[in-house]
Every structure is written in structure tokens, then in C-alpha cells.
């Protein structure tokens, strides 16, 4: 059986959390592997050829934000696997990370046919959202994950965390 990126993207953060008992060598190796897997979207874009367009919406005010490793890749992979992968027309994946006051709002939106329910409760999360939610709970209990239909069509997943600047940005 093939090993899918979904498995790797969802297990590496959990392993990373567990190695805090014996840092820094194992964690450094895992983070480097996760950086490699961060190229997942680029690889998938090649597979979708011209029917996948990725929109990145950046916010300069969000640049210094501390973001836990591998928070968005499982959500992006879910959008590709369960949404965009099921349609044959032009597909759009929009990834945005704006700062809203003292919060960072990371969102992934696709233009798939849409969700059957207005929102997905936490007990209906798949592996990707469940693992992301679990990691955020260990990292900070002041977070929010919402999956809902996008306004016209598709699905939007928003991950909201407190905005905390990286240490090197605080000194500037």
C-alpha cells in the first residue's frame, strides 16, 4: 500500500511534540523532514497541471507571527484530496494569513461543489482537522478552527490563533 502524504503530514507534528523529552537532535531532524513535505503543494500543482490555480494572500502585518509547524499542510491536503481532486474544471485554492488585531487568521478555501452541512462540528473532523486541533490544544488553548461552506461554492477552513511575534521581530 502506498504511503500518502496525508499520513506523513498528520504524524510528523505529533512525533515532534513527543520528542520534547529528548530535544534538540530528533526534533531538528523531524522539522527538516517536514520542511521537505512543505513542498507538497508544489508537487500536487504539477499533478493537477493547468486546472489548479493557487492564490496566496499575504499580509505584511502577519509576517512576524509565530505559527506552529505544519498547521496548514494537512488542511491544504484535505482541500486537494476531498475537494479539488473531485472536480474536473478549473480549481482554485486560496491560502490567506492576515493579522486581525491580536489574532492571526489562517484560511484555506477551495472552490469544490461545497459542503452538505452549514458547518462541520469537531466530532465530525477527519484525521487532518482532528490532528491539527489536537496540536493546537497542546500549543495554546486560545485557538479556533472552523470549517464552513464558502460564500459562492467550496469549503473554507479557518484556523485562528493569538498573534505572537517571533523573538527576533520583538527586538526590532
Percent of the chain surpassing pLDDT 90: 16
Q: Which long-range contacts (CB under 8 A, 24 or more apart) does 33-36 make?
A: 34/69, 34/70
Point out the least confidently predicted range of 34-48, 80-94, 129-143.
34-48
d(CA 139, CA 146): 18
pLDDT at position 2, please?
A: 38
Domain positions in the chain are 5-170
pLDDT at position 153, please?
A: 80
Q: What is the pTM of this model?
A: 0.73
The average pLDDT across 149-163 equals 89
Q: Measured between alpha carbons, how far apart are the two ends of the chain, in Å?
A: 50
pLDDT at position 112, please?
A: 78
d(CA 63, CA 98): 9
CATH classification code of 5-170: 3.30.565.10
pLDDT by residue (tens digit) across 72-116? 888 888 888 877 777 778 888 999 999 999 999 999 999 877 666
Cα distances (angstroms) measured from residue 61 to each of 72, 75, 83: 19, 23, 30
d(CA 97, CA 48): 24
Query: Between residues 127 and 30, which one has the greater pLDDT?
Result: 127
Amino acid at each position: 500500500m502506498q504511503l500518502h502524504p496525508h499520513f506523513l503530514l498528520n504524524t510528523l507534528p505529533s512525533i515532534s511534540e513527543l520528542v520534547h523529552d529528548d530535544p534538540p537532535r530528533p526534533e531538528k531532524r523531524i522539522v527538516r523532514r517536514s520542511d521537505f513535505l512543505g513542498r507538497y503543494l508544489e508537487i500536487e500543482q504539477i499533478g493537477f497541471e493547468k486546472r489548479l490555480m493557487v492564490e496566496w494572500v499575504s499580509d505584511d502585518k502577519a509576517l512576524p507571527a509565530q505559527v506552529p509547524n505544519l498547521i496548514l499542510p494537512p488542511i491544504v491536503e484535505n482541500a486537494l484530496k476531498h475537494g479539488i481532486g473531485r472536480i474536473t474544471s478549473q480549481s482554485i485554492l486560496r491560502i490567506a494569513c492576515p493579522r486581525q488585531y491580536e489574532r492571526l487568521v489562517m484560511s484555506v478555501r477551495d472552490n469544490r461543489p461545497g459542503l452538505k452541512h452549514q458547518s462541520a462540528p469537531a466530532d465530525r473532523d477527519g484525521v487532518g482537522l482532528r490532528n491539527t486541533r489536537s496540536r493546537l490544544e497542546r500549543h495554546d488553548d486560545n485557538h479556533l478552527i472552523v470549517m464552513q461552506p464558502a460564500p459562492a461554492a467550496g469549503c473554507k477552513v479557518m484556523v485562528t490563533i493569538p498573534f505572537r511575534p517571533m523573538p527576533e521581530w520583538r527586538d526590532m
